[in-house]
Copies of this chain bind each other. A is one copy, B any other.
């Protein structure tokens, strides 16, 4: 039984509104220019309410990241290409598209550069998103579809790297077509002649 405290219960809708507001502000103006004041105003909330729920701006940032993180469940279709698409197409949509996470990611990257905790958080998150791809590739290897000497982790790094690079460094949209072309080229390089 959850301990029910005495007074007025917290408005649960506030969390959602704040995260949404925070992400929007940060995406538009950057972390520094995104004022707690502005976030509160955009969420239709007082500044004190923010500080009652999160001790500081960083904590709010972490919370936003947590809220936005969703685990991508890979299907086991028996077909490597399909499996990889199942992993990377939603990931592209989520992390490199127009979604809230995509907008925050650059901020996280910058924060990770001089914040140990953020570094761990980002790495953890990134790895868990890609884990499906690793599983899919291992299944393919077990089915004997992979060439000799193919490094599974490296392969995933290259696919994901091409996508994140395009999004964060080149600033170009990561379309579904681009994801497919990356995966196709990778598969062409790693599967045996018989495969496909």
Which residues of A does B touch, CB under 8 Å? 27-33, 103, 106-107, 109-115, 119-120, 122-123, 126-127, 147, 149-151, 154-155, 157-166, 168-172, 181-182, 185-186, 188-190
Contact = CB atoms under 8 A, between A and B. Distances in A.
A115 B106 CA distance: 12
Contacts of A109: 106, 109-110, 168-169
A29 B110 CA distance: 10
User: Oligomeric state, in number of copies?
Assistant: 4
B189 A186 contact: yes
The binding surface of chain A is classed by DSSP as helix
Nearest to A172: B123
Nearest to A154: B185
A73 B186 CA distance: 27
